[in-house]
Amino acid sequence: MSTPDERAFRADLERAPFLLGLAEGRWDLISVKGTIAVISVTAKDGLAYELRFDVTGYPQSPPTARLWNSAANAPLAVDKWPRSERAGRLGAVFRQDWKGGTALYLPCDREALAGHDNWLTQMPSKIWRPAVGIVHYLEQVHELFHCADYAAPIAA
């Protein structure tokens, strides 16, 4: 039997905004097991980066995500992480030095938002919005992978 957060998450995966992102090749659903989901997001160079989401408490509680390698069922090796070309925002989000790389440093991430009350006024458009759901998080990651700061990983 599934939990309310799992049912809510699965319902969002059936909504038009998520399906449109699938159809446009912006992201792809790899797997969902309970409140853990793996979704890949495509970068401007065609590389797809997998994110392992924990959607416990969804949608009222924001998800948290980390770079993932589903083939190895393990975190993505650091040399395969996207790089910051200009020491910009991408490098600030994909940080190995923050929480050991276990979460993205994004205002829509549960782990990052904790303790950053200033983000509520400084970056209100990037704060988790339950009504928008997982697409809100995916769109922010997709935007980063298509910005001028993005560079392919050291080991492609």
Domains of the chain, residue spans: 4-150
The residue annotated as part of the active site, out of 108, 112, 135, 138, is 108
Pairwise CA distance, residues 82 & 156, whole Å: 9
Pairwise CA distance, residues 10 & 4, whole Å: 10
* pLDDT 10s digits, 119-153: 888 988 899 999 999 999 999 999 999 999 999 99
pTM of the model: 0.95
* pLDDT 10s digits, 65-86: 999 999 999 999 999 999 998 8
CATH level 3 topology of 4-150:
Ubiquitin Conjugating Enzyme (3.10.110)
Q: Is residue 142 helix, strand or coil?
A: helix
Phi, psi of 58 (to 5 degrees): -65, 140
Residue 108 known to be catalytic: yes
